[in-house]
Every structure is written in structure tokens, then in C-alpha cells.
């Protein structure tokens, strides 16, 4: 019994003296944010979807997002990217699929299925809603605080340049981002390594000196694999990906990005 207690105490002591991996990392010199799901709430379309398709709004918004991401992976990995389409087009295609799958019944069934005339109007209304997604409430204050501390910030996103420009403007984030980086010029979506390399190219910094922030676990994982210091914003209290790698940090809101800069007071935000 004494030996067991002794070993337990020694084990506890050893664990307490092992340095936190995060403490050995350099303080980041820039912060890059994912856009959709991280700065902009992709599920804020659920209310409009519910108005158009009563009883299906929440499910529609979830399937729309899942299919959108599935399409980005499909066009990136198939035939060396020969089937690439801009993010706006993939977003529309994913919406049409989601509506057809769970929200409406075709007027005519079969391979040549057709839908009533309200179908197109519903698609346009929801796509317009997607242009100006709701921003998470802490965005502006966190970005303003990073700017006050002299830390360059940016977006690294699958979104088209025009989509991102409008989303940033609609959210009132003009002037708070040093870089708005779209994967569109390389025609490869995250999680392709060339997509993450755009952050290094834009900032002139190696990935290890950049904090990458995402609410999407798959994105945070791939960015960690690429070499970024990462923050997973776990807004919805979900488990992280079970592939043997953890993000550098985890938080419940964007405010957790300030933990990368311990020399600065955190109570100002």
C-alpha cells in the first residue's frame, strides 16, 4: 500500500513538472481566422429556412453546410481539381440538394423530377441570406483588441473574394483585418496543404509563427498538421476529431485567441 501511494505521489509530481507544450511555442506574430463558421454564423440561415420550409429549417441549415463542405472536398480531390467550381456555386448546389432531399416533394418524380415555381424563389432568398450571414457578437471587440496590440490579422477562407468582401463589410469588420485570403486563385479548398500555404505567403511568416483560428474541428486539425499554432473555437461543445492530434488551444469563443499573448492583459476584452 505504501509503495502504491508513493508511486502515485511521484507520478503526480512528474506530471506537474512536465512543461505545457504551449509554453514552449513562440508567441504568434499574426492571427488568421477561418471565415464561415468561425467569424460568420453559417447556421443563422435556419430562421429564414424555417419560414420557407416550416418544420425543416434547422435540419436544412445543417445539411446545407455538410453538403457544402463535402462538395469542396469532392472537387479538390477528383481528377486533380478538374471539376473545381467557385465556393458560391458550390454553396448554391449544396442548398439545392438539401432542399430537394428534406424540404420539398417534387411535382413530378423520377429522373426528370421538377419542382413548383416557388423552389427557385426560395433558393434565391436563402442565397441572399448567405451573402450577409450574422457575425458572432465578440468578433469586433476581439479584432479591435488584436489591432490595438499591433498583431496583424486576416481571414484564410474557402470563400470567393467577392463573398468575403461583402461578408466582412456586412459584419462591420472593415479596417480590422490586414489580409483577406481566398483559396480561389489556387482552385484548391481546405484541407489541401496549398490552401494553408496561402497564409504563410500573405504574412511572410512560417506557419509556426501564425495562430490559425477555426470553429470547424476538421479545419483546426488540418491546420495543426500543416504546422500552424491553432485555436479550435468549440462553440457547440462537440468532441474534437479522433485522429490522434489536438489543436494547440481550445476555447468557447473567439476571445480565447488572446490567450496566445500572455504578456498582455486579458480583461480588456
Catalytic residues: 34
Q: Let me know: does 257 contact 239? Beta carbons within 8 Å.
A: no
What is the β-pairing status of strands 210-214 and 229-233?
A: parallel
Q: How far apart are CA 223 and CA 113, in angstroms?
A: 41
Q: Which residue has the cell 485555436?
A: 231
Q: How far is the C-alpha of 36 from the C-alpha of 263, rounded, in Å?
A: 30
Handedness of CA 15, 21, 22, 23 (dihedral sign): positive
Q: What distance in Å separates the CA atoms of residue 80 and residue 188, rounded to the nearest whole number?
A: 9
How far is residue 34's CA from residue 144's CA, in Å, rounded to a whole number?
Answer: 17
Give the C-alpha separation, 139 to 135, whole Å: 7
Amino acid at each position: 500500500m505504501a509503495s502504491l501511494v508513493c508511486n502515485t505521489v511521484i507520478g503526480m509530481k512528474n506530471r506537474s513538472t512536465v512543461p505545457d507544450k504551449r509554453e514552449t511555442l513562440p508567441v504568434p506574430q499574426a492571427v488568421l481566422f477561418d471565415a464561415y463558421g468561425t467569424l460568420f454564423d453559417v447556421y443563422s440561415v435556419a430562421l429564414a429556412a424555417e419560414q420557407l420550409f416550416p418544420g425543416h429549417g434547422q435540419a436544412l441549415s445543417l445539411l446545407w453546410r455538410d453538403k457544402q463542405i463535402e462538395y469542396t472536398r469532392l472537387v479538390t480531390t477528383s481528377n486533380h481539381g478538374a471539376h473545381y467550381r467557385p465556393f458560391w456555386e458550390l454553396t448554391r448546389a449544396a442548398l439545392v440538394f438539401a432542399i430537394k432531399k428534406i424540404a420539398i416533394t417534387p411535382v413530378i418524380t423520377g429522373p426528370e423530377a421538377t419542382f413548383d415555381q416557388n423552389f427557385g424563389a426560395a433558393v434565391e432568398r436563402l442565397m441572399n441570406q448567405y451573402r450577409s450571414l450574422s457575425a458572432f457578437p465578440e468578433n469586433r471587440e476581439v479584432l479591435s483588441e488584436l489591432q490595438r496590440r499591433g498583431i496583424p490579422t486576416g481571414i484564410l477562407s474557402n470563400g470567393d473574394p467577392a463573398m468575403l468582401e461583402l461578408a466582412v463589410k456586412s459584419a462591420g469588420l472593415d479596417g480590422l483585418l490586414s489580409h483577406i485570403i481566398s483559396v480561389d486563385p489556387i482552385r484548391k479548398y481546405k484541407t489541401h496543404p496549398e490552401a494553408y500555404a496561402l497564409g504563410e505567403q500573405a504574412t511572410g511568416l512560417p506557419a509556426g509563427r501564425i495562430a490559425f483560428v477555426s470553429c470547424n474541428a476538421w479545419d483546426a486539425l488540418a491546420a495543426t498538421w500543416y504546422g500552424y499554432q491553432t485555436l479550435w473555437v468549440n462553440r457547440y461543445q462537440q468532441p474534437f476529431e479522433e485522429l490522434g492530434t489536438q489543436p494547440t488551444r481550445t476555447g468557447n469563443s473567439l476571445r480565447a485567441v488572446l490567450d496566445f499573448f500572455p504578456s498582455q492583459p486579458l480583461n480588456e476584452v
